[in-house]
Amino acid sequence: EVMRVLDAERPDIVHTNVLAGFSALVWRVTKQQGVPLVHTLRDYHLLCPRSTMFRNGQNCEYQCLVCRMYASPRRLLSNQVDMVVGTSRFILERHLQFGYFTTMPRTVIFNSYYAGPPTVPLDSPSLPIRFGYLGRLSREKGVEVLLEAAKQLQTKPYWTLNLGGRGSAKYMRRLRAKYRTPATTFLGHVKPADFFSENDVLLVPSLWHEPFGRTVIEAYAHAQSVIGSNRGGIPE
């Protein structure tokens, strides 16, 4: 199929990104056609079949035996690439650490986000402070760490916490039952512009090493402050 597309389109360059559900063999096929090849790293799929390198509530500092067996062909094929790009220094260096993309130039190009014409945030009372979380509701995102902290704080009128996003139905039921407080609201799916207009500070409590953490720059684009984990590409 890749050969058919290359023959039909005759591209000047091939740029691959996330290969989960596809195959790193696309690199070999591309190079057999003599086409320059760039790959951008956006997750850990080449290192880990779960694409996260996060297991049992902990970040994997090393590849387990299963991951090494799974990843070995991809590591060898990575040398077919002419240029590798990381969406953060962290994700690029993590792949270099495990022997990927060792023979070619590499660079970092951060993800971008455009929120539309800049707006001046409206003045709001100093209290309550309106904290917000936006993203997938899952354990590795640190949602339970955030909600556990919220349970230990004084409630209204000092602060509120709005969580935008969804998780699995079972996980959502568990969160609502365990962490229900008067100041915490589960909003479900929300539009970023609407979400940020109703909050003062974005919280990014991720436990896993997020390759970039796009919600951080979304918040900045909407003139909002961020408190984020010192994990992965989030500090960058």
What per-residue confidence (pLDDT) applies to 185? 93
What percent of the chain has pLDDT above 70? Answer: 95
- The reply to whether omega before 117 is within 30° of 0 (cis) is no
For the stretch 202-230, pLDDT in tens is 999 999 999 998 999 999 999 889 999 99
Quick one: DSSP state of residue 139?
A: G
For the stretch 88-137, pLDDT in tens is 999 999 999 999 999 999 999 999 888 877 665 566 667 889 999 999 99
What per-residue confidence (pLDDT) applies to 156? 63
Q: What contacts 24+ positions apart, CB below 8 Å, involve 210-215?
A: 210/234, 211/41, 211/42, 211/43, 211/44, 211/86, 211/87, 211/88, 211/90, 211/91, 212/42, 212/87, 212/88, 212/91, 212/110, 212/111, 212/236, 214/111, 214/113, 215/134, 215/135
pTM of the model: 0.88
What per-residue confidence (pLDDT) applies to 90? 97
Q: What is the mean pLDDT of residues 153-177?
A: 89
For the stretch 3-61, pLDDT in tens is 889 989 999 999 999 998 888 999 999 999 999 999 999 999 999 998 999 998 899 99
Asked whether the predicted pLDDT for residue 152 surpasses 90, the reply is no
